[in-house]
């Protein structure tokens, strides 16, 4: 062989050594650029220039036309909306932040906030323009990473209890108001003819969204500052309660295929389930007509039950060259009246309580129930490693529900894995 | 490059002494130059687009880089072999490694035996050969998503045709994809069904190179059907079998699509593979850790391939 490869290898090794000697974390690197003063010094007057916006799913398709009014009110502005599919959105935003080639504004899933904020790619929210009190507390909390808010809640979704009114009437049952009620409710629906009284997701992807509300109702917490606090008696007790639905045969312990839930609910095989507002339409399409109702989740003891809150936040990137216009656009999109007309356009639920008080959101009583539930919600912690810890919870919920480990062991395993993963906040 | 130099070695060299050392080296030199010329387009593309990321990912596997470091990729700490150590201490990684090993150790022989049986069968019929060849090959070209939807329907616990057939003969069929003990075997069977078409076509081509005279001579010598297959056909198929084993082994070690669309890795991680685990780790943002897991998988592929080359190499 010639000597060339050796020379190349030496050069590569030298380059590596150089690169690595520049390595090493600064002690305060993580939050370095994040702790800027939360004020954007917005100019007075209309927005100008070009504002690039990324939005996912239905939002991305409908937002461009929806912003015609904004462009009329701000004649010197051009808004360019790029629809991004949800599937690739996370990686696309991560890549854009890495390359410094971001849009000005993007819709960001609530569970991604911790990760993107920790890169230093997001601007802190100017709290002189956006007041925390104007928004539901759970959704606002999803924007706060390590004490600083990095975005504004745009639309929200939460979970409530769907149930068959015909079965409940046959069993002479009122909507449940406590954990004991809920258990009796599921038993009653099953005796009235349902194959399973209530379908609770038995583990796998996203089952923490069904399980955690029970834990929150029992006073359990996910984090305290920058440490996970999964291992608590409250968590164990909630998991035992959750498991009892499976051991007593009130819910099946295998995950339903997509689309099966609506069908089984519509034909009365499933008496109740916990889900979000999109299921109103799905259940009606499946043929349940008016034979069902939605109520807020019951708490453990008579008190209102806490539910999970998710949705989408709007954030401005540090690499944006039109931050002024970007925040003005977000200000517009989070106005109460605009949120109401956005609901009529894309059925996105408003993140501000005052948008629920009149107008279109009061017209459908089933939708209004979700407004009621929003007063009592928790968001998962906005930390960079949340998605990974969520799968740890999913896995342990699945194992516990299938009876392979006791609740206390499942909770202990959640904690030991979560501790070794860490919150990523340093 | 290695294949280019080893392949001619198995071919019989012309008998007799070399007709002149000088001429042979000239010829060899020319061949070497041609080989490099032919490899050049690939090498250029590899150097321009692949070498950098490959090298970077190897470095990354020795750091604690996470997705939150993307804006400052050099401000990460060196972790030496910490990622690799942590991998083998992770109970989930050990589980997915076992799942993958089972998938390969059961799946590769199963697929090869089925493909060889189909190829031998097709080699012996003349009518409808094209029809069956198409039939066996069709799953290979069908989208995995379509395949998985159909299989999920087939394997449904209550309404699926498989369990209804079993029910007709009085057997209560299990929940194939929902039972942790049966989900991986179900996926292995599906993967074998889906991939046997490719191997069958390759084996069919191999079978057609077996000289008819040899088989006839063996028949004259009194060898039965099985003996002819065992002692004439199979040895001649060795290179073809090796090729089949290598490509199937590499593919199966990286199996991902089947659990991704069919079971999402469940139940209880019974169908999660090493590739799936790496995919998860990358999406969790653990770039350094995921890169380390990728290199462990890469090493496993190298080792498996080396073993296959040893076991199945043509006998001199």
Mean pLDDT by 10 residues, chain A (426 residues): 43 45 53 46 84 91 92 92 89 90 94 90 92 92 91 94 94 93 95 94 89 95 91 96 95 85 92 92 87 94 91 94 93 94 90 91 90 91 90 94 94 94 82
Helix (H, G, I), strand (E, B) or coil at A162: strand
For residue A387, which of A115, A157, A94, A92 has the smallest C-alpha distance? A115
Query: By C-alpha distance, which of A225, A224, A36 is closest to A146?
Result: A225
Shared domain for A335 and A190, answered yes or no, is: no
Per-residue model confidence (pLDDT) at position A225? 83
Residue A72 CB-density burial (10 A; 0-12 exposed, 13-18 middle, 19+ buried): exposed
Residues A414 and A266 in one domain: yes
Summarize the confidence of residues B23-39 as an average pLDDT: 88
Of A378, A197, A206, A202, nearest in space to A305 by CA: A378
- Give the Cα separation of A85 and A92 in Å (integer): 10
Q: Which residues of A touch B157 (CB under 8 A)?
A: 254
**Is residue A351 in some structural domain?**
yes
CATH of the domain at A409: 3.40.190.10
The answer, for A24 touching chain B at a CB cutoff of 8 Å, is yes
- Residue from A109, A388, A417 whose CB has the most chain B CBs within 10 Å, to mutate: A388
C-alpha A354/C-alpha A338 separation (Å) is: 12
Structural contact between residues B259 and B276, judged by C-beta atoms closer than 8 angstroms:
yes
DSSP, res A305: P
Q: A96: domain range?
A: 49-158+309-378
Q: What is the pLDDT of residue A27?
A: 53
* Cβ–Cβ contact B163 with A under 8 A: no
Query: What is the ipTM metric for this complex?
Result: 0.80
Looking at the structure, do residues A152 and A91 belong to the same domain, yes or no? yes
On chain B, the residues whose CB falls within 8 A of the CB of A255 are: 178, 266
Locate A159 and state its tokens.
């979970």
Residue partners of A366: CB distance under 8 A and separation at least 6: A280, A293, A294
In-domain check, residue A6: no
Q: Is the distance from CB of A67 to CB of A40 less than 8 angstroms?
A: no
Here the tokens at position A363 are 């017209």
3-state secondary structure of B265: coil
pLDDT score for A13: 46
pLDDT at B66: 87
Residues from chain B that touch A90, judged by Cβ atoms under 8 A, are 283
Cβ pair B188, B107 in contact under 8 A: yes
Tell me, yes or no, whether A137 lies in a domain.
yes
Of B70, B266, B283, the CB nearest to A98: B70
In angstroms, the separation between the Cα of residue B267 and the nearest Cα of chain A is 8
pLDDT bin (cut points 50, 70, 90) of residue B44 is: very high
Shared domain for A315 and A301, answered yes or no, is no
- Whether B55 sits inside 8 A of A115 (CB atoms) is no
Mean pLDDT across the stretch B36-55?
92
> Using CB atoms within 10 A of its CB, is residue A171 exposed (0-12), middle (13-18) or buried (19+)?
buried
For residues A183-202, b (16+ Cβ closer than 10 Å) or e, as one string? bebbbbbbebebebbbbbbb
Question: Alpha carbon of A28 to those of A24, A35, A424, B75: distances in Å?
Answer: 12, 11, 13, 11
Task: Return the residue matching tokens 């201490």.
Answer: B89
Residues 6+ apart with CB under 8 A from B155: B162, B163, B176, B177, B186
pTM for this predicted structure: 0.83
| A residues 73..92 contacting B (CB < 8 A) | 90-91
* Contact call for residues A407 and A236 (beta carbons, < 8 A): yes
Q: Which residues of A touch B66 (CB under 8 A)?
A: 384, 424
Q: How far apart are CA A312 and CA A156, in angstroms?
A: 6
The nearest CA of chain A is from the CA of B56 a distance in Å of 10
Q: To the nearest whole angstrom, how far is the Cα of B76 from the nearest Cα of chain A? A: 5
Query: CA-CA distance, B268 to A255, in Å (whole number)?
Result: 12
The C-alpha atoms of residue A74 and residue B132 are separated, in whole angstroms, by 67
SS3 A390: helix
d(CA A23, CA A173): 65
Q: What per-residue confidence (pLDDT) applies to A359?
A: 87
Tell me the average pLDDT across B103-123: 95
**Residue ranges of domains in chain B:** 52-312
- Residues B52-312, CATH architecture: Orthogonal Bundle (1.10)
Claim to verify: residue A88 and residue A199 sit in the same structural domain: no
Residue B234 confidence (pLDDT) above 50? yes
Interface test with B, best of A119, A260, A382, A419 (most B CBs within 10 A): A119
Give the number of domains in chain A.
2
Residues A221 and A370 grouped into a single domain: no
Inside any domain, residue A2 = no
Torsion of CA A364, A367, A369, A374, to 10 degrees: -140
Q: Is there a single domain that holds both residue A257 and residue A189?
A: yes
Chain B positions touching A203 (Cβ under 8 A) are: 266-267
What does the alpha-carbon distance between residue A423 and residue A228 come to, in Å, rounded to a whole number? 7
pLDDT tier at B105 (50, 70, 90 boundaries)?
A: very high
Nearest to B75 among A12, A23, A255 (CB): A23
Of B59, B74, B267, the CB nearest to A398: B267
Task: Give the pLDDT score at A338.
Answer: 94
CA distance B115 to B201: 8
The DSSP output letter for A50 is: E
Token duo for residue A199: 């379908």
Q: Which of B53, B59, B67 to mutate to test the interface with A (most CBs of A within 10 A)?
A: B67
B32 touches chain A (CB under 8 A): no
Residues A122 and A230 in one domain: no
Beta strands (DSSP E) in A190-297 are 223-224, 227-228, 272-275, 292-295
Mutation site, B85, B284, B290, interface A, largest A CB count within 10 A: B284
DSSP secondary structure code for residue A297 in this structure: P
Select from B71, B266, B268 the Cβ nearest to the Cβ of A120: B71
Q: Are residues A56 and A123 in the same domain?
A: yes
Backbone φ and ψ of A188, nearest 5°: -65, -45
β-bridge pairing A349-350 and A152-158: antiparallel
Rounded-to-integer distance, Cα B293 and Cα B283, Å: 13
* Percent of chain B clearing pLDDT 90 (strictly above): 52
Q: Using CB atoms, which residue from A26, A91, A119 is nearest to B71?
A: A119
The model's pLDDT over B151-171, given as tens digits with 9 standing for 90+, comes to: 988 988 878 899 989 988 888
Q: Do B71 and A100 touch (CB under 8 A)?
A: yes
Tell me which residue in B68, B77, B266 faces A23 most closely, judged by beta carbons: B77
> For residues A413 and A396, is the Cβ–Cβ distance under 8 A?
yes
Helix (H) or strand (E) holding A78: strand A77-84
On whether any CB of chain A is under 8 Å from the CB of B175, the answer is yes
Helix and strand counts by DSSP (H, E) for chain B: 15, 0
- Interface touch A94/B67, C-beta < 8 Å: yes
Q: Identify whether the C-beta of residue A303 lies closer than 8 Å to the C-beta of residue A375.
A: no
Residues A197 and A278 both lie in one domain: yes
With left for phi above 0 and alpha for psi between -120 and 50, is residue A272 left, alpha or beta? beta
Q: Does B264 touch chain A (CB under 8 A)?
A: yes
Task: Please report where in the chains the tokens 């004020």 appear, as a residue.
Answer: A39
> Can you give the pLDDT at residue A8?
44
Residues of A in contact with B285 (CB under 8 A): 94, 115, 384-385, 387-388
Q: Hey, is the C-beta of B283 within 8 angstroms of any chain A C-beta?
A: yes
Nearest CA in chain A to B283: A91
Edge-to-edge strands, sheet with A160-164: A272-275, A160-164, A292-295
Give yes or no: residues A225 and A240 share one domain: yes
Let me know if residue A7 belongs to a domain.
no
State whether B70 and A257 contact (CB < 8 Å).
Answer: no
By mean pLDDT, which of A33-37, B43-47, B100-104, B300-304 is the weakest? A33-37
What confidence score (pLDDT) does residue A26 get?
A: 64
Residues A140 and A215 in one domain: no
A100 contact B CB<8A: yes
Cβ-contact A54, A320 below 8 angstroms: no
């Amino acid at each position: 062989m010639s000597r060339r490869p050796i020379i190349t290898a030496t050069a590569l090794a030298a380059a590596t050594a150089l690169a690595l000697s520049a390595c090493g974390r600064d002690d305060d690197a993580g939050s370095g650029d994040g702790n800027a003063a939360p004020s954007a010094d917005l100019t007075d007057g209309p927005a100008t220039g070009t504002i690039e916006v990324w939005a996912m799913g239905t939002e991305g398709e409908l937002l461009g036309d929806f912003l015609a009014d904004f462009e009329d009110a701000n004649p010197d502005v051009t808004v360019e909306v790029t629809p991004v599919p949800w599937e690739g959105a996370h990686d696309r935003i991560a890549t854009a932040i890495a390359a410094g080639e971001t849009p000005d504004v993007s819709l960001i899933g609530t569970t991604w906030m911790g990760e993107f904020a920790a890169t230093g790619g997001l601007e802190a929210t100017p709290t002189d323009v956006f007041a925390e009190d104007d928004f539901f507390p759970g959704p606002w909390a999803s924007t706060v990473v390590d004490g600083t808010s990095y975005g504004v809640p745009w639309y929200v979704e939460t979970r409530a209890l769907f149930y068959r009114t015909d079965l409940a009437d046959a069993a002479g049952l009122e909507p449940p108001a406590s954990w004991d009620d809920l258990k009796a409710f599921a038993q009653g629906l099953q005796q009235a003819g349902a194959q399973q009284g209530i379908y609770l997701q038995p583990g796998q992807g996203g089952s923490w969204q069904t399980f955690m509300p029970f834990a929150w109702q029992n006073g359990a917490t996910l984090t305290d500052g920058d440490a996970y606090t999964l291992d608590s008696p409250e968590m164990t007790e909630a998991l035992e309660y959750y498991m009892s639905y499976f051991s007593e045969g009130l819910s099946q312990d295998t995950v339903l295929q997509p689309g099966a839930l609506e069908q089984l609910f519509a034909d009365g095989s499933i008496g109740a389930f916990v889900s979000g507002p999109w299921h109103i339409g799905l259940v009606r399409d499946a043929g349940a007509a008016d034979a069902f109702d939605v109520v807020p989740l019951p708490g453990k003891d008579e008190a209102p039950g806490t539910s999970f809150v998710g949705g989408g936040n709007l954030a401005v990137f540090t690499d944006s060259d039109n931050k002024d216009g970007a925040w003005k656009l977000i200000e517009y999109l989070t106005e109460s009246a605009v949120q109401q007309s956005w609901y009529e356009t894309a059925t996105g639920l408003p993140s501000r309580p005052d948008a629920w008080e009149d107008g279109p959101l009061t017209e459908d009583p089933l939708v209004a129930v979700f407004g009621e539930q929003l007063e009592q919600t928790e968001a998962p912690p906005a930390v960079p490693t949340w998605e990974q810890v969520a799968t740890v919870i999913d896995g342990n919920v699945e194992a516990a529900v299938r009876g392979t480990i006791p609740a206390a062991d499942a909770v202990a395993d959640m904690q030991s894995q979560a501790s070794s993963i860490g919150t990523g906040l340093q | 490059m290695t294949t280019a130099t080893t392949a001619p070695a198995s071919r019989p060299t012309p008998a007799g002494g070399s007709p002149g050392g000088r001429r042979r080296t000239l010829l060899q030199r020319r061949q070497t130059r041609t080989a490099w010329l032919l490899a050049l387009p690939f090498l250029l593309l590899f150097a321009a687009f692949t070498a950098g990321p490959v090298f970077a990912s190897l470095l990354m596997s020795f750091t604690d880089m996470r997705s939150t470091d993307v804006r400052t990729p050099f401000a990460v700490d060196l972790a030496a072999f910490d990622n690799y150590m942590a991998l083998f201490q992770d109970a989930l990684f050990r589980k997915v490694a076992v799942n993958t090993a089972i998938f390969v150790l059961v799946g590769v022989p199963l697929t090869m035996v089925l493909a060889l049986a189909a190829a031998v069968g097709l080699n012996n019929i003349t009518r409808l050969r094209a029809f069956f060849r198409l039939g066996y090959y069709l799953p290979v070209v069908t989208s995995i998503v379509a395949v998985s939807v159909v299989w999920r329907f087939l394997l449904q616990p209550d309404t699926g045709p498989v369990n209804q057939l079993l029910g007709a003969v009085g057997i209560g069929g299990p929940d194939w994809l929902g039972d942790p003990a049966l989900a991986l075997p179900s996926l292995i069977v599906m993967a074998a069904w889906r991939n046997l078409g490719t191997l069958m076509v390759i084996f069919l081509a191999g079978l057609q190179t077996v000289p008819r005279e040899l088989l006839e001579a063996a028949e004259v010598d009194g060898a039965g059907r099985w003996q002819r297959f065992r002692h004439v056909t199979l040895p001649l198929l060795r290179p073809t079998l090796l090729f089949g084993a290598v490509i199937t082994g590499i593919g199966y070690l990286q199996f991902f699509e089947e659990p991704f669309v069919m079971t999402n890795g469940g139940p209880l991680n019974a169908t999660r593979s090493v590739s799936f685990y790496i995919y998860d780790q990358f999406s969790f943002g653990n770039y350094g850790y995921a890169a380390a897991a990728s290199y462990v998988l890469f090493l496993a592929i190298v080792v498996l391939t080396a073993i296959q080359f040893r076991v199945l190499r043509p006998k001199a």
